Chains A and B, each alone.
Chain A
Amino acid sequence: MRQKRIFIVLIALVFMVGCANVNVEKKASYITTAYQTLSTAATVYETGLKALADLYGKGIINDEDKAKALKYGNQFWTVCHTSVNALSIYKQYETPDNQNRLDKALDALTEALSTFNEFIYPLLEKGLEK
Protein backbone atom coordinates (compact mmCIF):
# COMPACT_ATOMS: atom_id res chain seq x y z
CA MET A 1 0.00 0.00 0.00
CA ARG A 2 2.86 2.36 0.83
CA GLN A 3 4.48 1.70 -2.54
CA LYS A 4 1.25 2.59 -4.28
CA ARG A 5 0.97 5.84 -2.41
CA ILE A 6 4.55 6.69 -3.29
CA PHE A 7 3.75 6.27 -6.96
CA ILE A 8 0.47 8.08 -6.79
CA VAL A 9 1.87 11.20 -5.14
CA LEU A 10 5.00 11.21 -7.30
CA ILE A 11 3.75 13.60 -9.91
CA ALA A 12 2.27 15.96 -7.34
CA LEU A 13 5.55 16.00 -5.42
CA VAL A 14 7.55 16.73 -8.53
CA PHE A 15 5.13 19.54 -9.27
CA MET A 16 5.42 21.04 -5.78
CA VAL A 17 9.22 20.69 -5.63
CA GLY A 18 9.51 22.16 -9.08
CA CYS A 19 7.38 25.13 -8.15
CA ALA A 20 9.20 25.61 -4.86
CA ASN A 21 12.67 25.58 -6.40
CA VAL A 22 11.80 27.99 -9.20
CA ASN A 23 15.34 27.98 -10.50
CA VAL A 24 16.57 29.70 -7.36
CA GLU A 25 20.18 30.04 -8.50
CA LYS A 26 19.40 31.09 -12.04
CA LYS A 27 16.72 33.62 -11.11
CA ALA A 28 14.43 32.70 -13.96
CA SER A 29 12.11 35.47 -15.00
CA TYR A 30 8.63 35.69 -13.56
CA ILE A 31 7.20 34.90 -16.98
CA THR A 32 9.39 31.82 -17.39
CA THR A 33 8.46 30.53 -13.95
CA ALA A 34 4.76 31.13 -14.53
CA TYR A 35 5.01 29.35 -17.90
CA GLN A 36 6.83 26.37 -16.36
CA THR A 37 4.21 26.15 -13.61
CA LEU A 38 1.41 26.16 -16.17
CA SER A 39 3.20 23.65 -18.35
CA THR A 40 3.78 21.30 -15.41
CA ALA A 41 0.16 21.58 -14.28
CA ALA A 42 -0.89 20.74 -17.85
CA THR A 43 1.31 17.62 -17.80
CA VAL A 44 -0.22 16.44 -14.52
CA TYR A 45 -3.74 17.09 -15.85
CA GLU A 46 -3.08 15.28 -19.16
CA THR A 47 -1.47 12.32 -17.43
CA GLY A 48 -4.25 12.00 -14.89
CA LEU A 49 -7.02 12.12 -17.49
CA LYS A 50 -5.26 9.68 -19.83
CA ALA A 51 -4.93 7.22 -16.94
CA LEU A 52 -8.58 7.66 -15.93
CA ALA A 53 -9.78 7.25 -19.52
CA ASP A 54 -7.81 3.99 -19.78
CA LEU A 55 -9.31 2.75 -16.52
CA TYR A 56 -12.77 3.69 -17.78
CA GLY A 57 -12.15 1.84 -21.06
CA LYS A 58 -11.20 -1.25 -19.06
CA GLY A 59 -14.35 -0.98 -16.93
CA ILE A 60 -12.39 -0.35 -13.73
CA ILE A 61 -14.08 2.97 -13.07
CA ASN A 62 -17.77 3.60 -13.73
CA ASP A 63 -19.90 6.31 -15.34
CA GLU A 64 -20.26 8.12 -12.03
CA ASP A 65 -16.48 8.33 -11.66
CA LYS A 66 -16.22 9.51 -15.26
CA ALA A 67 -18.81 12.24 -14.63
CA LYS A 68 -16.83 13.48 -11.63
CA ALA A 69 -13.60 13.33 -13.64
CA LEU A 70 -15.23 15.54 -16.25
CA LYS A 71 -16.50 17.92 -13.57
CA TYR A 72 -13.12 18.38 -11.88
CA GLY A 73 -11.34 18.30 -15.23
CA ASN A 74 -13.53 21.11 -16.53
CA GLN A 75 -12.85 23.17 -13.42
CA PHE A 76 -9.12 22.77 -14.03
CA TRP A 77 -9.49 23.44 -17.75
CA THR A 78 -11.30 26.72 -17.07
CA VAL A 79 -8.76 28.09 -14.59
CA CYS A 80 -5.89 26.85 -16.73
CA HIS A 81 -7.14 28.78 -19.74
CA THR A 82 -7.77 31.81 -17.54
CA SER A 83 -4.17 31.57 -16.31
CA VAL A 84 -2.81 31.22 -19.85
CA ASN A 85 -4.78 34.32 -20.86
CA ALA A 86 -3.47 36.21 -17.83
CA LEU A 87 0.11 35.19 -18.66
CA SER A 88 -0.38 36.14 -22.29
CA ILE A 89 -1.60 39.63 -21.27
CA TYR A 90 1.23 40.05 -18.76
CA LYS A 91 3.76 39.02 -21.42
CA GLN A 92 2.51 41.88 -23.58
CA TYR A 93 1.93 44.47 -20.84
CA GLU A 94 4.07 43.97 -17.74
CA THR A 95 2.08 46.10 -15.31
CA PRO A 96 1.58 45.48 -11.56
CA ASP A 97 -2.16 45.05 -12.12
CA ASN A 98 -1.59 42.37 -14.74
CA GLN A 99 0.92 40.63 -12.49
CA ASN A 100 -1.63 40.68 -9.68
CA ARG A 101 -4.23 39.11 -11.97
CA LEU A 102 -1.74 36.45 -13.03
CA ASP A 103 -0.84 35.69 -9.39
CA LYS A 104 -4.50 35.21 -8.53
CA ALA A 105 -5.06 33.03 -11.60
CA LEU A 106 -2.08 30.83 -10.67
CA ASP A 107 -3.39 30.50 -7.10
CA ALA A 108 -6.73 29.33 -8.50
CA LEU A 109 -4.88 26.95 -10.82
CA THR A 110 -2.98 25.37 -7.93
CA GLU A 111 -6.21 24.94 -5.98
CA ALA A 112 -8.02 23.37 -8.95
CA LEU A 113 -5.12 21.01 -9.61
CA SER A 114 -5.06 20.00 -5.96
CA THR A 115 -8.82 19.24 -6.03
CA PHE A 116 -8.39 17.30 -9.28
CA ASN A 117 -5.51 15.27 -7.83
CA GLU A 118 -7.39 14.50 -4.61
CA PHE A 119 -10.19 13.10 -6.75
CA ILE A 120 -8.07 11.00 -9.12
CA TYR A 121 -5.67 9.41 -6.58
CA PRO A 122 -8.23 6.95 -5.11
CA LEU A 123 -9.32 5.99 -8.64
CA LEU A 124 -5.74 5.37 -9.73
CA GLU A 125 -5.29 3.27 -6.60
CA LYS A 126 -8.34 1.28 -7.65
CA GLY A 127 -6.66 0.71 -11.00
CA LEU A 128 -3.54 -0.59 -9.34
CA GLU A 129 -5.52 -3.05 -7.25
CA LYS A 130 -7.15 -4.67 -10.32
Chain B
Amino acid sequence: MTGAEIALILALLELFMKYGVPAGMEIYNQWSGEHPEPTLADIEALKLRVLKPETYFEDKS
Protein backbone atom coordinates (compact mmCIF):
# COMPACT_ATOMS: atom_id res chain seq x y z
CA MET B 1 0.00 0.00 0.00
CA THR B 2 1.44 3.35 -1.03
CA GLY B 3 1.48 6.54 1.02
CA ALA B 4 -1.05 8.08 -1.34
CA GLU B 5 -3.43 5.17 -0.83
CA ILE B 6 -3.10 5.43 2.95
CA ALA B 7 -3.73 9.17 2.76
CA LEU B 8 -6.76 8.53 0.58
CA ILE B 9 -8.16 5.97 3.01
CA LEU B 10 -7.61 8.35 5.94
CA ALA B 11 -9.35 11.16 4.05
CA LEU B 12 -12.17 8.81 3.16
CA LEU B 13 -12.54 7.75 6.79
CA GLU B 14 -12.55 11.36 7.93
CA LEU B 15 -15.24 12.34 5.47
CA PHE B 16 -17.25 9.20 6.12
CA MET B 17 -17.17 9.71 9.87
CA LYS B 18 -18.10 13.34 9.50
CA TYR B 19 -20.96 13.00 7.04
CA GLY B 20 -21.62 9.41 6.04
CA VAL B 21 -22.34 7.80 9.39
CA PRO B 22 -24.72 10.42 10.86
CA ALA B 23 -26.59 10.78 7.58
CA GLY B 24 -26.69 7.01 7.08
CA MET B 25 -28.01 6.45 10.60
CA GLU B 26 -30.61 9.15 10.18
CA ILE B 27 -31.86 7.62 6.93
CA TYR B 28 -31.84 4.14 8.46
CA ASN B 29 -33.91 5.39 11.39
CA GLN B 30 -36.33 7.05 9.01
CA TRP B 31 -37.12 3.73 7.34
CA SER B 32 -36.59 1.07 9.97
CA GLY B 33 -39.28 -0.10 12.35
CA GLU B 34 -42.82 1.12 12.49
CA HIS B 35 -43.58 4.80 12.36
CA PRO B 36 -46.85 6.44 13.28
CA GLU B 37 -48.44 8.50 10.55
CA PRO B 38 -46.92 11.99 10.70
CA THR B 39 -49.03 14.78 12.08
CA LEU B 40 -49.62 18.01 10.21
CA ALA B 41 -47.08 19.63 12.55
CA ASP B 42 -44.49 16.97 11.63
CA ILE B 43 -45.06 17.70 7.94
CA GLU B 44 -44.88 21.48 8.38
CA ALA B 45 -41.67 21.07 10.39
CA LEU B 46 -39.96 19.80 7.23
CA LYS B 47 -40.21 23.32 5.82
CA LEU B 48 -38.18 24.67 8.73
CA ARG B 49 -35.65 21.89 8.38
CA VAL B 50 -34.91 22.35 4.67
CA LEU B 51 -33.02 25.64 4.69
CA LYS B 52 -32.11 27.78 1.71
CA PRO B 53 -28.71 26.67 0.36
CA GLU B 54 -27.14 30.07 1.09
CA THR B 55 -27.56 29.35 4.81
CA TYR B 56 -24.98 26.56 4.75
CA PHE B 57 -22.32 28.86 3.29
CA GLU B 58 -22.94 31.83 5.60
CA ASP B 59 -19.99 31.31 7.93
CA LYS B 60 -17.69 29.81 5.30
CA SER B 61 -16.68 32.92 3.30
Contact = CB atoms under 8 A, between A and B. Distances in A.
A39 B30 contact: yes
Where chain B touches its partner, the secondary structure class is helix
Contact of B9 (A3, A57, A91): A3
Nearest to A70: B53
Nearest to A74: B53
A77 to B, nearest CB: 6
B60 A40 contact: no
Question: In which size bucket is the chain B interface?
Answer: 35 or more
Contacts of B40: 88, 91-92
Interface in A83-115: 84, 87-88, 91-92
Contacts of B27: 11, 14-15, 18, 40, 43-44
Nearest to B54: A70
Nearest to A41: B50
A45 B50 contact: yes
B51 to A, nearest CB: 8
A39 B46 contact: yes
B57 A44 contact: no
Interface of A: 3-4, 7, 10-11, 14-15, 18, 21, 23, 26, 28-29, 31-32, 35-36, 38-40, 42-47, 49-54, 56-57, 66, 69-70, 73-74, 77, 80-81, 84, 87-88, 91-92, 124, 127-130
Interface of B: 8-9, 11-12, 15-16, 18-20, 22-24, 26-28, 30-31, 34-38, 40, 42-44, 46-47, 49-54, 56-57, 59-60
